[in-house]
Amino acid sequence: MGRSRCRPADTRPVRCTHVGRARQPRRIRLLVGRPAIPRRDLGRRSRCVAAAYRGARDPRPARAGPDHRKAPVNLPPVPVRFDDARPRALTIAHDVAAEGLDLLLVRDVLGRFALVVDDREKDVPADRATAWSERLTADLQRYAADRPLLLASGLFSADDLLGSERAQPDPLHLPADEHGSVRLLDNTVVGEDWAQVSTPAVETDGSRTHRTALYGFKGGVGRTTATAILARHLADQGHVVLVVDLDLESPGAGPILAAGALLPRHGIVDQLVESAVANADGLDLVAPSGYRPRTGRGELWVTPARGRDTAGVTYSYVDKLNRVYADIPGMDFADRLAAAVRACEDAVAREGESGRRPNVVLLDSRAGIHDIAAVTISRLCDLALLFGADNRQTWGGYGDLFVAWHSSGQARAIREKLRMVASMVPESPQRPMGAYLESFREHSWECFAVLYDDDVPELETGQLIPGAFSPSLEDDSAPHHPIPILFEPGLVGLDSDSAPGWQDRAFVQAAYRDFLTTATLLITADPQSNEGPR
């Protein structure tokens, strides 16, 4: 029991010469005439006061009885987030498939999962279906669909759903013996074309147009300038080159490549808008560049994102841009963009004096994870030059993109198209070019590792997987090996209209020498496959 803070009365006699209580000092008055408080009574009083205080101001009840331990607290469950839902759903799917059933895991546009079980050849007991449904609801929480389990025998068009070409197998789990297959059908609002990798088909006469995408995850890496310099270099080699500006939100390749010539009346955005209402005939989509190649056979053509202004007619670019991404009956945006690029290629053959189709098409792509970039890299090109700087933003962005390709089962198909470009490489005593490129290559190799095959031998045979592709860090022909473009301060803020002939200057040629040599070899080489979509 604690000691009382009150002092007991002082019974010692006090010597005082004054008469009367009023004249006593205040200190003495406080000590005289106060009875002592027993310690036991004080303790009981303190406990009562504490209990009364708690009951008046504290919502917790006063503890009473011999067992006054705190009651257990039921904490709410930890919520399942978007990143947690997919691995949880796949775990459940593979547990169900282990019973010999083929499955389709469907994710809707909100990220919720439903499991479609093919029970048409093997019956599923009702209690098993109920248990699976309850497990999906419990494990996925908010990311379980309203009907988390569907049986194919009860669906109206099960064949269309289970046989969808958009469904991809789970690349992280290979089915074992007597184990059903697991496929994933991912529904998204945008960006679906990242997971649909294909190679352009050959022309009707057996020829192939070499389509190359120039892409940067981040802007400001000199992609458009490199496109213009590369286009002129290829035209000097005798190629018929067409450059299509697909950076619709930030157009700029057209004026740089025009080199003083008149741009066409319409741009790629006009083709997308007019074709949606079957009104694309007669569009003026291409124009020859003002640059004259050094060889007589070379040609350089340009299709800008935006057409030129005309007197008396307002060019409503923003209004057109707001409508280009819409799907139309029978054609999605990817098909429409592919048709627009092909219309530009046909226009070159139709309007050029030589009548030749372009054998090289450079697609100046939109930056970032965007629908145009998805279609351009995944479906329109057979080579994609990926621009970047050696920094955290570059590798974080490309890492997210590569993981998405790997998760959708497209690693093998997409890696055959890719090659890194180290743009704006510094050369200074503080940061030598050699050290910069070595660091770039190491980070690039680490980033590409998710697209490469494992170099671990199989347990049964001790041999590597047939056809496995796992290049070393030093492999200079691998996709991760950078093609350098040196940083040149004279190109920063360059106005091409006020600096004619800027591309022929010695410092520009020195900065792009390695890039032009390597890119030309990659672009003009025979593609690895002459097949269409894979």
22: tokens are: 């009023």
Distance between CA atoms of residues 85 and 408, nearest Å:
16
> Three-state SS across 155-207?
CCCHHHHHCCCCCEECCCCCCCCCCCCEEEEECCCCCHHHHCCCCCCCCCCCC
Asked if residues 120 and 103 have their Cβ atoms less than 8 Å apart, the reply is no
Mean pLDDT lowest for which of 35-49, 149-163, 306-320, 433-447? 35-49
Of 154, 156, 160, 167, which is closest to residue 93 (Cα–Cα)?
Answer: 167
Asked if residues 187 and 199 have their Cβ atoms less than 8 Å apart, the reply is no
| Greater model confidence, 497 or 19 | 497
| Greater model confidence, 11 or 284 | 284
CA within 13 Å, CB half, 423: 23
Is a pLDDT exceeding 50 seen at residue 533?
no
pLDDT digits (tens, 9 = 90+) for 396-416: 999 999 998 988 888 888 999
Mean pLDDT lowest for which of 210-214, 321-325, 448-452? 321-325
Helix axes of 223-236 and 506-524: crossing angle, nearest 10 degrees:
70
Residue whose structure tokens are 């980070």: 443
pLDDT value at residue 409: 82
Strands (E), 54-112: 103-107
Residue 25 — very low, low, confident or very high, per pLDDT cuts 50/70/90? low
pLDDT value at residue 198: 83
Distance between CA atoms of residues 54 and 45, nearest Å:
14
Asked if residues 483 and 514 have their Cβ atoms less than 8 Å apart, the reply is yes
pLDDT value at residue 512: 93
pLDDT value at residue 529: 43
Mean pLDDT lowest for which of 134-138, 327-331, 452-456? 452-456
239: left (phi over 0), alpha (psi -120 to 50) or beta: beta
Distance between CA atoms of residues 267 and 303, nearest Å:
6
Return the amino acid letter for 441: R
Distance between CA atoms of residues 176 and 334, nearest Å:
36
Is a pLDDT exceeding 80 seen at residue 18?
no
pLDDT digits (tens, 9 = 90+) for 448-479: 999 998 766 665 666 667 778 889 999 999 99
DSSP, res 253 = H
pLDDT digits (tens, 9 = 90+) for 240-259: 999 999 999 988 888 888 88
Percent of the chain with pLDDT over 90: 47
State the chain's mean pLDDT as an integer: 83
Asked if residues 530 and 500 have their Cβ atoms less than 8 Å apart, the reply is no
pLDDT digits (tens, 9 = 90+) for 261-297: 889 999 999 999 999 999 999 999 999 998 888 877 8
Residue 104 — very low, low, confident or very high, per pLDDT cuts 50/70/90? very high
DSSP, res 380 = I
pLDDT value at residue 534: 33
pTM: 0.75
In terms of CATH architecture, what is 199-453+472-524?
3-Layer(aba) Sandwich (3.40)
Residues of the chain with CATH 3.40.50.300: 199-453+472-524
166: tokens are: 């958009």
Quote the Cα angle for 513-507-438, to 5°.
Answer: 50
Is a pLDDT exceeding 80 seen at residue 111?
yes
